[in-house]
Structure 1
Amino acid sequence: MRNKQKFKLWMAVTGIVLTGMFLGEGDVWAAPEKQTERNGAYADVNTCLNIREGAGTQHPVLAQLPKNGYCEVERREGDWCYITSDEISGYVFCDYLETGFTKEEYLTVTNQKEMKYAYSLQQKENVAAAASIGGKRQEIVDFALQFVGNPYVWGGTSLTNGADCSGFVQSIYKQFGISLPRVAADQANAGTRISVEEALPGDLIFYAENGSVYHVVMYIGNGKVVHASSSASGIKVSDLYRAHAVSGARFFIS
């Protein structure tokens, strides 16, 4: 009985109320394990699924979810589901979704090696434009990629012996007759200012935190960038860090 009295006193002190259960003497109460939510879904379509601003075909399309593209269903409004896919949210027709998966289950069911997310219409146009532009853009990207694996050196501008982020892009552009300021903050204010979504292969994208630019990368397409990253990893190819990507700059047209 003493254990029960202590347990009741503990409940009174902590303010916890237990209902629908009885603990016998010597029993230990444990909170139930939280179940993994299966609100993941993927687009069961042949090409892509339109994501709209509102629940209905009268609303404009703002993005598309590709075949087998992953999203999370936030809520259902009649025949329409409000979804989030990476950084894009909107409405899709529910009948075109296969639902009830965790991310791990999604990769297994769809036989995907990595997550596939929605893309904005602007991103789709950029991919098509980049494919048709080629020319100098492709030359610049190809030239930059040959230095992947070389060292990062703070204050450096050598593509072989070491460069920092701004020195790397400055030296790349110099080979094509384009003059850039030395530091990333000044580079961000040069050229033609563009949004991150408008970036095409060969354009520069700037990372900032608390309003201050601290890093510059070169966009190479498909959500990837090449940059002089750090002394630990050197010049490398990475995914675009969208959380800190604030603006872009364009220094040539074709």
Structure 2
Amino acid sequence: MKAPHKRRHLRPLSAAAIVSILTFTGFGATVTTASTAQASTVSVRALEIAASKQGSPYRWGATGPRLFDCSGLTLYSFKQVGRNLPRTAAQQYGYTRHISREARSAGDLVFFASKQGIYHVGMYAGNGKIWHAPKTGTVVRLDQIWTGDKVLYGRVD
């Protein structure tokens, strides 16, 4: 005779855990994550919004909902989840809580700098990749972080 089946009580999953599971199983291919469990729900939701804009054309100065420049994409994505960011990449860097490369998680902002200052921003998607609006003639897309030099990270609290 078989022992009776024990019923387990499962805890609800967080939004970050669901994104991780969907990504792992291939259902959430637009969002890749490294430490999604550590990301705030707001940042993960903003990342999902940025990813949903895949293929939207780049236009300098555009803030959505159909056209974007780099900081316009991050501004738009966070605005949709109730967070207001300043307009430019440099202003957004000044607004965020600066974090180390090791502390980055899905939804954090990734800034690229030169001697002249911050010139580009994207949203960290995990596995060394970002969602961003690169430049004129391109579209919103997921790319590998292409440099290790002058890459800075910021978290929207």
Question: Normalization by structure 1: what TM-score?
Answer: 0.46
Alignment RMSD, CA only? 1.9
Aligned mates of 2:149, 2:92 — CA distance in 1: 17
Match of 1:35 in 2: none
| Structure 1 segment 166-177 matched on structure 2, within 5 A | 166-177=71-82
Letter in 1 for 2:59: V
Q: Does residue 150 of structure 1 match 2:56?
A: yes
Q: Does residue 224 of structure 1 match 2:103?
A: no
Residue segments in structure 1 that go unaligned for 5+ positions in a row: 1-125
Residue segments in structure 2 that go unaligned for 5+ positions in a row: 1-32
What is the CA distance between 1:134 and its match in structure 2?
Answer: 6.7
**Are 1:196 and 1:245, in contact at CA under 8 Å, matched by a contact in 2?**
no
Match of 1:192 in 2: 97
What is the CA distance between 1:245 and its match in structure 2?
Answer: 4.2
What is the CA distance between 1:230 and its match in structure 2?
Answer: 1.3
Q: Aligned in 2, Cα 1:173/1:133: closer, same or farther, shift over 3 Å?
A: closer
Match among 82, 85, 95 for residue 180 of structure 1: 85
**Partner secondary structure for residue 234 of structure 1:** coil
What is the CA distance between 1:234 and its match in structure 2?
Answer: 1.5
**Are 1:205 and 1:245, in contact at CA under 8 Å, matched by a contact in 2?**
no
Q: Aligned in 2, Cα 1:134/1:203: closer, same or farther, shift over 3 Å?
A: closer
Q: Does residue 204 of structure 1 match 2:126?
A: no
Aligned mates of 2:75, 2:134 — CA distance in 1: 15
Aligned mates of 1:233, 1:181 — CA distance in 2: 23
Aligned mates of 1:156, 1:148 — CA distance in 2: 15
What is the CA distance between 1:132 and its match in structure 2?
Answer: 5.5
| Higher relative contact order, structure no. (Cα contacts within 8 Å, ≥ 6 residues apart) | 2
**Are 2:75 and 2:84, in contact at CA under 8 Å, matched by a contact in 1?**
yes
- Greater strand fraction, Structure 1 or Structure 2: 1
| 1:208-252 Cα deviation digits (max 9, x unpaired) | 112511100100111110001112221111001233443111113
Aligned mates of 1:248, 1:239 — CA distance in 2: 15
| Structure 1 segment 11-90 matched on structure 2, within 5 A | none
What is the CA distance between 1:133 and its match in structure 2?
Answer: 4.7
Aligned mates of 2:146, 2:72 — CA distance in 1: 20
How many positions carry a matched residue from both structures? 125
Between the aligned residues of both structures, percent identity stands at 34
Please identify the structure whose Cα radius of gyration is greater. Answer: 1
